[in-house]
Structure 1
Amino acid sequence: MVQTASFIGFLRTILIILLVYYGIKLLMRIFAPYLMRYMSKKMQERFGGQFQQYQNNQQTQQREGETVIDKMPERQKSSNKTVGEYVDYEEID
């Protein structure tokens, strides 16, 4: 059985698509502030937890009155003798 498209069916399909589009747009306008507030609260909790964990690690590593000096080890400067020699120049006016 072959069905043919009718103009009324086409208009109904376009109307349904537009109603769904504007319905979603309206719902997002209503629920977007709540969704954003929820997401920001979750991010704040996550970052706060990470900061608290970092603070706890710092407090356990350093005790009160203890002095800690971190020093980078000195690196041996290696010169490449095959590069050539440095030539100083003067600018001529």
Structure 2
Amino acid sequence: MLQEASVTGLVRMILIILLIYFGIKILGRLLAPFLIKYVSKKAEQQFGDQFGQFQKKDQQEHPKKEGEVTIDKMPNTKTSNKDVGDYVDYEEID
């Protein structure tokens, strides 16, 4: 059975597509702030959990007394090669 396309069917399809498009657009504008707020809270919670685990782990490994100072990392000392070149002292001429 072969069916032919009619003008009313085409107009009806276009109207349905437009209604769906504008419906999604309006719902998106209404629901977007709630979605963004939810995602940001989840990210903040995840970051807080990771940071909290790091702090708890650090405190468990190294219990500190009040007033105690500790250095966790020694600064990198760069050694320079003295045979590379000569230092040239200069003066500015006015």
The reply to whether TM is greater than 0.5 is yes
Q: Secondary structure at the match of 1:63?
A: coil
Report the equivalent of 1:19.
19
- For residues 71 and 38 of structure 1, do their structure 2 counterparts lie closer, same or farther at Cα, with a shift above 3 Å needed? closer
How far residue 19 of structure 1 moved from its aligned partner, in angstroms, is 0.5
TM-score by length of 2: 0.69
Identity %: 51
Tell me the residue number matched to 1:52: 52
Runs of 4+ in 1 over 3 A off after TM superposition: 65-72
Tell me how far apart the structure 2 counterparts of residues 45 and 2 of structure 1 sit (CA, whole Å).
59
Equivalent positions of 1:70-89 (< 5 A) are: none
Q: Which residue of 1 aligns with 2:40?
A: 40
CA RMSD of aligned residues (A): 3.1
Aligned to 2:91: none
Tell me the TM-score normalised to structure 1 length.
Answer: 0.69
Deviation of the 1:30 alpha carbon: 0.3
Q: Deviations over 1:33-65 (max 9, x none)?
A: 001001111111110000000001111121215
CA pair 62-31 structure 1, distance change in 2 beyond 3 A: same
Aligned pair count reads 92
Structure 2 portions without partners, runs of 5+: 75-94
Displacement of 1:70 after TM fit?
6.4
